[in-house]
A and B are shown apart, each in its own frame.
Chain A
Amino acid sequence: MITARPSRLRKGMVPLPGVAAPDSEGSGGGPVGLPGRRRARGGQGGASLAGAAALALAGLAALALPLVADAYVLHSCIVVLFFAYMATAWNFVCGYVGQLSIGHAMFAGVGGYATVLLFTGLGLSPWLGMPVGGLLAAGLSVVVGYPTFRLRGPYFALTTIAFAEMIRIWVENTDTFLGIPLNGAAGLTVPLRGESLAALQFNGKAPYYYLIVALLAGALLATWRLERSKLGFYLKAIRGDRDAAESLGISPARYQLVALAISAFMTGVGGGFYAQFFRYVNAERLIGVDLSIDIALMSIIGGQGTVFGPLLGAVLLAPLAEITRGALGGSFLGLHIVVYGIILMLAVLYLPKGLIAPLRTLLLRRAGRGGAR
């Protein structure tokens, strides 16, 4: 990474002929170049270098964590990172295209169930089962997304709930489908194989921790690249104004579907991870509205449409659930969700760009004071 904006770093570039200068393009047949002058600017190299250093440091600290943390803390961290990963995957499409999906759990469900069923039925290693589950989720996302992306705002949101609920209700009430044991509401357990790398089963928590850190890093990297890619620009254009986007050569349906498929793939892989980590999947938890809402909430509160917003949201919100469950026991079931709800309302009213927006301004200002600008 690091060279975020190459064009800005080329300081000594030779300026092109000025605006008024004549040029030789007279044919008018092909695409026409406009005159202009390349801007020679310092750019934010200092800031992004500092950011990269901070990231590297955070990464190192994250990798060292299993050496010092006990099993309980490590377990909680895995859960938090799992949510960060899922929120980042959600953000990949919803945050950038400005649509609210409250049905992403269906992709997690497909990934989770597929990983388990491929293992129990065909003996396929979860290392392969997870990407296969991801591909199945991506396939489902195209089927669901193709008609649905024509809808906007609340209509899109409600339709995603409807699709996810149809799948949840169906799975919950189906014991076998075409000979495949779905086991209804009871869910599926992953048969134990003891410590086995091939079966992705470990006695300690550390391997799961490293796996989710790797997945999260991959999702963040994908989002970081998205921001700078054609797809990212296209999604932001569709979010900004659909007609204008179409006039600039963008087929909204096509690019939204591509992004949704990638997002669903990542979410499906996340469902597979969930299955391996908890060694259990059921429809209510993995396909239910609650998971969909949690994922969307963390992304929105942290800051959708940014690389690190969903991670921030998950790191701030997910521990609440762990803390209320751990410290307060079962007596305050639901307390963390009440807090989520209040934070959500405050964020929508006062920080519509998420918690990351003020944080970023603060960091940029600090970097600016010491940096080039």
Chain B
Amino acid sequence: MAPMDPLILSFALVNGLLIGGIYGGVALGLSLIFGVMRVVNFAHGSLLMLALYATFWLQALAGIEPYASIVVTVPLLFALGFLIQSVIIAPLIRRESALVVEPLSALLLTAGVYLVIDNLALMAFGPDVRSATTGFALEPLMLGPIPVNMQRLIAFSAAILSAILLSAWLRGTRMGRAIRATAQNRDAAALSGIDVPLVYAVTFGIGAALLGLFGSLLATFIPITPQVGLSFGIRSFIVVVLGGIGSIPGSIVGGLVIGVFEALASQFVPATSAAILSLGLFVLILLVRPSGLMGRA
């Protein structure tokens, strides 16, 4: 193999870190929801897709700056997540005494949500590719000779910040502690007076609200289509499995690993092969170390 230009390689590395951090941020909600509720949310990517469209339409119809639309998308997605949990998933959890393979039922339920949301979006918005544009003039930041895309840097910073704030919130607040207690032992939490259904709904809401945030932050640099969700969803599964399911720092670390892995791999092999490799990495991690890089064994 020909030696790579170190400049190109370091550019790929920086880009991989940025994208990876963003992957990690997008995956935060999936990890949180799984960690607390043991529910693999198949509709994770679909919620991101909705946030992207919300950002796009807010700009197209009301002229709202994508970065400002956060004040709408975050509460909107929180409400949506809260609703999905309390209307669709809660009945399953209430029925849990029945002898059914529960985690699988939860996966199937959210797969139903995915099918409905993605195809409603396809019907409503059509298959056209859309994009939002920010009004801010964002010049690339020069890191020595390497240009750093500002939109990505903003989203990356938001991912790191969200992970830190989420961890702090889970530790420092009443609701956060209730969520952690429920994650460890649902029955004990219920016995000690925690409103478990509310905790679940809030958890799902926060998981979705994070997607509201990233929907607005990503809308300015990724193409928006009704199908964009699934690829983000699958990538989030990879990130979460890699980092350790339910681990907040693991999500960011997993994202960085995948981002750098894909960026560097695509320097040597076509981008599609890089995608195959990261799926292969996902399978390998599940088979060899299902607890992930940061998870407890």
Contacts and interface: CB of A to CB of B under 8 A. Distances in A.
The size bracket of the interface on B is 35 or more
Interface string A95-137: 0001010000000000000000000000000000000000000
A161 B282 CA distance: 11
A199 interface: no
A352 B91 CA distance: 12
A155 B282 CA distance: 11
Among B115, B122, B234: residue with most chain A CB under 10 A: B115
B286 interface: yes
A209 B105 CA distance: 35
A344 B112 contact: yes
B72 interface: no
23 contacts: A98-B104, A148-B287, A151-B287, A154-B104, A154-B107, A155-B290, A159-B282, A162-B283, A165-B234, A165-B279, A166-B279, A169-B276, A170-B276, A172-B272, A334-B118, A334-B120, A337-B115, A338-B116, A340-B112, A341-B113, A344-B108, A344-B109, A345-B113
B213 to A, nearest CB: 25
Interface of B: 40, 88, 91-92, 95, 98, 100-101, 103-105, 107-109, 111-116, 118-120, 122-123, 127, 230, 234, 237, 241, 270, 272-273, 275-276, 279-280, 282-283, 286-287, 290
B108 A147 contact: no
Nearest to B90: A349
A7 interface: no
Nearest to A349: B91
A106 B136 CA distance: 46
A244 interface: no
Given A162-B282, A162-B283, A345 B272 contact: no
Contacts of A300: 108
Interface string A345-357: 1001100100000
A278 interface: no
A148 B287 CA distance: 7
Given A169-B276, A173-B270, A153 B104 contact: yes
A255 interface: no
A338 B120 contact: yes
Given A100-B108, A170-B272, 19 more contacts: A100-B104, A100-B107, A153-B101, A155-B286, A157-B104, A157-B107, A158-B241, A159-B282, A159-B283, A162-B280, A166-B279, A166-B280, A334-B120, A337-B115, A340-B115, A345-B112, A345-B116, A348-B105, A348-B112
Interface in A328-373: 332-335, 337-338, 340-342, 344-345, 348-349, 352
B272 A333 contact: no
Contact of B123 (A157, A166, A289, A332): A332
Given A166-B276, A338-B116, A352 B105 contact: yes
A308 interface: no
B112 A341 contact: yes
Given A98-B101, A153-B103, A335-B123, A349 B109 contact: yes
A280 interface: no
* Among all A-B residue pairs, the 10 with the closest Cβ atoms: A341-B115, A334-B119, A345-B112, A341-B116, A344-B112, A154-B40, A173-B272, A334-B122, A153-B103, A337-B119
Contacts of A157: 104, 107
Nearest to B43: A341
Describe B's contact surface by its main secondary structure: helix
Contacts of B273: 173
A320 interface: no
Nearest to A155: B286
Contacts of B127: 333
Nearest to A350: B91
A340 B118 CA distance: 12
A293 B115 CA distance: 10
A202 interface: no
A163 interface: yes
Among B98, B114, B116, B234: residue with most chain A CB under 10 A: B116
A334 B123 contact: yes
A345 B88 contact: yes
Contacts of A154: 40, 103-104, 107
Given A158-B40, A169-B272, A293 B111 contact: yes
Contacts of B98: 352
Contacts of A342: 112, 116
Contacts of B123: 332-335, 338
B105 A341 contact: no
A163 B114 contact: no
Nearest to B290: A155
B290 A151 contact: yes
Interface string A151-187: 1011101110111011001101100000000000000
A349 B115 contact: no
A161 B95 CA distance: 28
Contacts of B114: 341
A161 B286 CA distance: 13
